[in-house]
Structure 1
Amino acid sequence: MSIQGRIGRTGGGRVKRALGVQAALEWAFRVEKAQLELTVPEEKTGESLGYGLEHVLLQRAALGCRIDGGQYKIGSYTHEDAEVIAACVAGMPDSMGGKRMAIRVAELARAGLTPDWMPSAVPRCVPVEVKRNQHGERAATTVIGTARVLTRGKWRSVDILACPVTFSPHPHQIEAAHRAYDDWWQALGWIRDGLIAGGMLREVEVTEVMPRVRPWKARASAK
């Protein structure tokens, strides 16, 4: 579903525009250029806890007042629903990644991207080092010991060589990419549920639609 057009702002019994949470985020941050406000209260320990979602939404829609959409744009307008969406993202709790995840969600939405879960990555055994010369390239070797061999009636000492190898990409890299995608997916679920439960959006309706959950499992089962 395209998110490039702005939502109309005329009055009267308008049907809300239905968007999945990822599309709603991209509309808010990419099209409407909404910004994050990450100032949060701190306890005496100084640990940031983040605002509760209800607090953020209620502050944004206090007394039913219209949200000031001109705070960040000079001479232009940021849709009030986009401001509410940005406020929800800014209220990301520490259990979901806090400020770091809020920034990550906003940056990906602004770029129109999904986290790279390395869909084509297959660990392959490769040399740790490759040496190149006029004859081409070959795997670098290292001496791991010596041995005595009988050659033409004489005993000689020869080096025992080994080629150090590694896996590229390393399975740990792929696992980390999968975890990062899953954390992002969980954060989007929190935002979706909060926006639906909050009921503060006036012209946008966030649906239950979510990005694919753990798409690497679906790919594995399809093989």
Structure 2
Amino acid sequence: MSFQGTISRAGGTKVKRALGVQAALEWAFRTEQAQLELPPPRDITDEGFGFGLEYVLLKRAALGCKVDGGQHKMGSYTHPDAEVIAATVAGIPDSLGGKRMAIRVAELARAGLTPDWMPGVVPRCVPVETKNNQHGERATTIVVGTERVKTRGKWRTVELLACPVTWRPHPEQIASARRGYADWWQALNWVRDWLTAGGMLRDVEVTAGMPKVRPWGDGS
């Protein structure tokens, strides 16, 4: 995703490039290769709700004077807006996952990926273990008891066999993957709100667009 810079209208008003928050993150971390600089640990007396806008303001001030972005990334230059986006991600509050979530958001954006919510996966009941013999693949059975039966006038003891089964993938695996997606979505929603409210982006405008909140649908 190449950054096209700004366009000037008559009178000098800038037209910012409009990007959804996921696209903005991918531009910052993947195209501009912004680095995630996590803040140092807070004082133990602090409540630990993240760093928010004040940290981003410090990062903005550290960037110094404005440097206009060109069409293509050159050398080690990183667009200032990408730095602000990265600083905002670094400030994800502890209530939304804190530093761990910040790293996850940045890594997914850098790879151009969305969290795997296991689309189309349906749990299947399968044998716990199978074995192969001359007759092909067979489910492994276990003895669960005995029973006395009468055959041809004689009483015999026979083993009662059962095939242990399980669900694969387990429903909890699917639920966990989808909780992970939902947590990522909440973090992106927080980043979007801070970027739109902060007004610190010079050439990028983060729109209201968001990934689907429940891409697996309401019936899952």
What is the aligned partner in structure 2 of residue 83 from structure 1?
83
Deviation digits for residues 10-59 of structure 1, max 9, x if unmatched? 875331000000000000000000010113232237x8926421112210
**Quick one: distance in 1 between partners of 2:58 and 2:4?**
23
- Post-superposition, which runs of at least 4 consecutive aligned residues in structure 1 deviate over 6 A? none
Shift of 1:216: 1.4
Q: 1:115 to 1:64 in 2, by over 3 A?
A: closer
Root-mean-square deviation over aligned CA pairs: 2.5
What is the aligned partner in structure 2 of residue 66 from structure 1?
65
Shift of 1:199: 0.5
Of 5, 12, 18, which residue of structure 2 is paired with 1:8?
5
Which residue identity lines up with residue 141 of structure 2 in the other structure? Answer: T
TM-score, normalised with respect to structure 2? 0.89
**Quick one: distance in 2 between partners of 1:99 and 1:67?**
28
What is the aligned partner in structure 1 of residue 111 from structure 2?
111
> Aligned with 1:217: secondary structure?
coil
Say if 2:127 and 2:166, in contact at 8 Å, map to a contact too. yes
Sequence identity, in percent?
Answer: 66
**Quick one: distance in 1 between partners of 2:141 and 2:195?**
58
**Quick one: distance in 1 between partners of 2:216 and 2:134?**
42
> Aligned with 2:157: secondary structure?
strand
What is the aligned partner in structure 1 of residue 126 from structure 2?
126
Which residue identity lines up with residue 4 of structure 2 in the other structure? Answer: I
Say if 1:61 and 1:67, in contact at 8 Å, map to a contact too. no
**Quick one: distance in 1 between partners of 2:183 and 2:83?**
23
Shift of 1:136: 0.5
**Quick one: distance in 1 between partners of 2:4 and 2:74?**
20
> Aligned with 1:18: secondary structure?
strand
Say if 1:127 and 1:164, in contact at 8 Å, map to a contact too. yes
Contiguous gaps of at least 5 residues in structure 2: none
**Quick one: distance in 1 between partners of 2:156 and 2:67?**
86
**Quick one: distance in 1 between partners of 2:38 and 2:181?**
22
Say if 1:50 and 1:91, in contact at 8 Å, map to a contact too. no
What is the aligned partner in structure 2 of residue 49 from structure 1?
48
**Quick one: distance in 1 between partners of 2:120 and 2:20?**
26
TM-score, normalised with respect to structure 1? 0.88
**Quick one: distance in 1 between partners of 2:4 and 2:98?**
30
**Quick one: distance in 2 between partners of 1:137 and 1:63?**
65
Contiguous gaps of at least 5 residues in structure 1: none
Say if 1:92 and 1:102, in contact at 8 Å, map to a contact too. yes
**Quick one: distance in 2 between partners of 1:26 and 1:205?**
14
What is the aligned partner in structure 2 of residue 150 from structure 1?
150
Does 2:168 match 1:168?
A: yes
Deviation digits for residues 136-188 of structure 1, max 9, x if unmatched? 00110000011111111111111000000001111101110110000000000
Say if 2:123 and 2:170, in contact at 8 Å, map to a contact too. yes
Which residue identity lines up with residue 5 of structure 2 in the other structure? Answer: G
> Aligned with 2:194: secondary structure?
helix
**Quick one: distance in 2 between partners of 1:128 and 1:209?**
44
Which residue identity lines up with residue 7 of structure 1 in the other structure? Answer: Q
